[in-house]
Structure 1
Amino acid sequence: MQKNAESKLISILNEKFDVDYNSGIRLEDTLSSLNINSISFIRLVVEIEKEFNIEFQDDIIDVNNFKTLKSLVEFIEEMGG
């Protein structure tokens, strides 16, 4: 069974960014509340591109374009991830 975009993204955050999965990550959480800043967002984008085999366009690689995990999950799903 293939994981959906939400669970894959949470796994990336847990494994690569030390975001504690057991702390109750929710889709409504903001990236800043998970300590994802502009620099770490670039690292997150690289991980997402690898995991989902999608590519972010340069003009949208900005943490301010994705206020919540939900907006990031929706983008991934729209891109076919």
Structure 2
Amino acid sequence: MDTRERIIKCFSHVGVLLEDTHVDIDINDYIEDSFMYIQFMVEVEQEFSIEFPDEVYTLDSVKSLNGLAEIVSELLEKQHT
């Protein structure tokens, strides 16, 4: 399972089922409120055993599925160096 697929799994853990998982999505279209957003981000952190730095929450790239997958991949690479 690749990074993107694992993030999609995190959506299901907070009650969001994505119909078309082959396209990039705007995360804000699926997250109902700030509480759900935090739950989702914590799910992603736990799934990948990472911790997002505070500045990640203000980046535009974290608003899309592909952007979030890229950030997660970068954090994982930093862990292994």
Same fold (TM over 0.5): yes
Q: Residue in 1 aligned with 2:67? A: 71
Report the Cα distance in structure 1 between the residues aligned to 2:27 and 2:41, rounded to whole angstroms: 12
Q: Residue in 2 aligned with 1:40? A: 36
8 Å contact kept, 2:27–2:65: yes
Q: Deviations over 1:9-33 (max 9, x none)?
A: 111112x122224x11344210112
Unaligned 5+ residue runs, structure 2? none
Letter in 1 for 2:17: D
Q: 1:27 to 1:55 in 2, by over 3 A?
A: farther
Unaligned 5+ residue runs, structure 1? none
Q: Deviations over 1:19-63 (max 9, x none)?
A: 224x11344210112135432221112111111011111232348
Report the Cα distance in structure 2 between the residues aligned to 1:6 and 1:26, rounded to whole angstroms: 10
Deviating 4+ runs (over 4 angstroms)? 62-65
How many residue pairs get aligned? The number is: 77
Instruction: State the TM-score, normalized to the length of structure 1.
Output: 0.75
Identity %: 23
Instruction: Calculate the aligned-residue CA RMSD, in Å.
Output: 2.2
